Amino acid sequence: MKKSIEKYLSYLNIERNYSRHTITSYRNDLLQLLDFIAEEQQIIPMNVELPSVDRLTIRLWMGELSEKGISRNSIARKVAAVRSFFKYCFKRGYVQKNPAHLLIVPKKEKRLPVTVTHSDIQNMMELADDNTPEVQQERAILELFYSTGIRLSELVNLDVNDVDVRKSQVTVLGKGNKQRVIPIGGKAVDAYKKHLKTRPSLLTDTSENDDKKALFIASRGGRIYPRKVQRIIETYLTKTSEVTQKSPHTLRHSFATHMLDAGADIRMIKEFLGHTDLNSTQIYTHTSMERLQKVYSKAHPRAESNI
């Protein structure tokens, strides 16, 4: 079973272009299941045979996760990983029956996206106002995130040529190797142009060909990596906002929510975000409605009840 897991993870990486974070999560989930099965069968994990896994065993594992107090969202993700893995194995003939085929995924707890205000965004951009190459790059990263709502994995994989200044658009490669083109605002285009002028000084003698194509560069001259970007976003949001979640995804959420607040069609936002299902985008309507209700309560003279 362990060899099949490694083949599956390689498939997600090479053929499906899943993010490093997702692959790491799936690996942990599947190895956790493997350890549980090994303990049930009283053998070492390396000796667990894939055909020996049945639906009852997986359900017992899910029950144990619940008893340990694991959240429904985490269990849902783990079950999704297991279902995807066994679907892969069944299609390739590694198993004759798919034990996860009828497995029910627990309903996720609905959490509204964390967003920052327009003024927080403005303060963040003003803070990134310096002529040094490092800060020019940071400003370009901030502007591009907020202007397009792209994912962290999509940003770090951007090359210089992926941005078309003339058409004011960027081409990104999303989940499942799906390419999409997103318009970018004037502020982001300006930040991109300024970054492009100082970008060569961020490259070093050790920069390889791929690094020289990369839009954003790390401190040692290589292509920027996810943790570096996360630290940049966290630093700026800490200084300008009181939100609890300080991550690139916060800017993605803010992009979608602010667009919706301004009257953008939700189907258009779905395309910008690269969602395959409109249900994934619908959550932003709840955030916008919550904001509208707060505004209404403050502004309308007869909003409050006397009862």
> For a pLDDT cut of 70, what percent of the chain falls above it?
90
Burial class (CB in 10 A: 0-12, 13-18, 19+), 15: exposed
Q: Which domain holds residue 28?
A: 2-91
The answer to whether residues 232 and 141 touch, using CB atoms and an 8 Å cutoff, is yes
Least confident of 13-22, 103-112, 165-174, 235-244: 103-112
> What pLDDT band is residue 178 in, cutting at 50, 70 and 90?
confident
- My answer on whether 83 and 124 are in the same domain is no
Catalytic option among 151, 199, 223, 246: 151
Specify if 281 maps to a domain: no
In this structure, the answer to whether residues 250 and 123 fall within a common structural domain is: yes
- 249 and 161 part of one domain: yes
Quote the pLDDT of residue 234: 95
In a shared domain, residues 6 and 125 = no
**Residue 106 clears pLDDT 90, i.e. is over it:** no
> What is the per-residue pLDDT across 109-167, written as a single tens digit (0 to 9) for each?
566 678 899 999 999 999 998 899 999 999 999 999 999 999 999 999 999 999 999 99
**248 & 129 share domain:** yes
Is 196 within a domain?
yes
Annotated active-site residue 249? The verdict is yes
Among 215, 239, 255, which residue terminates a domain? Answer: 255
Instruction: Give the sheet arrangement for strand 169-173, strand by strand.
Output: 163-164, 169-173, 179-183
What is the separation of C-alpha 249 from the centre of its chain, rounded to a whole number of angstroms? 6
* Same domain, yes or no: 128 and 192: yes
41 lies in the same domain as 147: no
139 flagged as catalytic? no
pLDDT confidence of 283, banded at 50, 70, 90?
confident
Residue with tokens 């798919």: 98
Residues forming a β-bridge with 172: 180
Residue 293 pLDDT > 80: no
| Rounded average pLDDT over 20-44 | 92
User: Does residue 246 sit in the same domain as residue 125?
Assistant: yes
Please give the average per-residue pLDDT across 56-64, as a whole number: 90
For residue 70, give the CATH number of its domain. 1.10.150
Taking Cα atoms as reference points, which of 202, 248, 192 lies closest to residue 222? 202
Tally of domains within the chain:
2
**Cα separation of 305 and 307, whole Å?**
6
Say if 200 falls within a structural domain.
Answer: yes
Residue 267 designated active-site: no
Same domain, 168 and 42: no
| Residue 236 clears pLDDT 80, i.e. is over it | yes
The answer as to whether 112 is a domain residue is: no
Of the listed 252, 253, 258, 270, which one is catalytic?
252
pLDDT of residue 295: 53
Catalytic site includes residue 252: yes
Are the beta carbons of 81 and 26 closer than 8 angstroms? yes
Q: Confirm whether 175 is a catalytic residue.
A: yes
On whether the pTM is more than 0.95, the answer is no
Q: Look at residue 304 in the predicted model and tell me its pLDDT.
A: 63
**Token pair 């003279």 in the structure block, residue:** 301
Assess whether 202 and 238 both reside in one domain.
yes
Same domain, yes or no, for 131 and 77? no
Answer whether residue 75 is part of any domain. yes
Residue 244 and residue 131 in one domain: yes
Q: 274 in a domain, yes or no?
A: no
* Active-site residue flag, 151: yes
Q: What is the domain-level CATH number for residue 131?
A: 1.10.443.10
Name the active-site residue from 59, 212, 275, 291.
275
Asked whether residue 22 is assigned to any structural domain, the reply reads yes
Which of 55, 59, 87, 175 is the catalytic position? 175
Residue 275 lies in a domain: no
* Rounded average pLDDT over 239-254: 91
Q: Which residue has the tokens 């976003």?
A: 233
**Considering only 239-243, 245-249, 282-286, which range has the smallest mean pLDDT?**
282-286
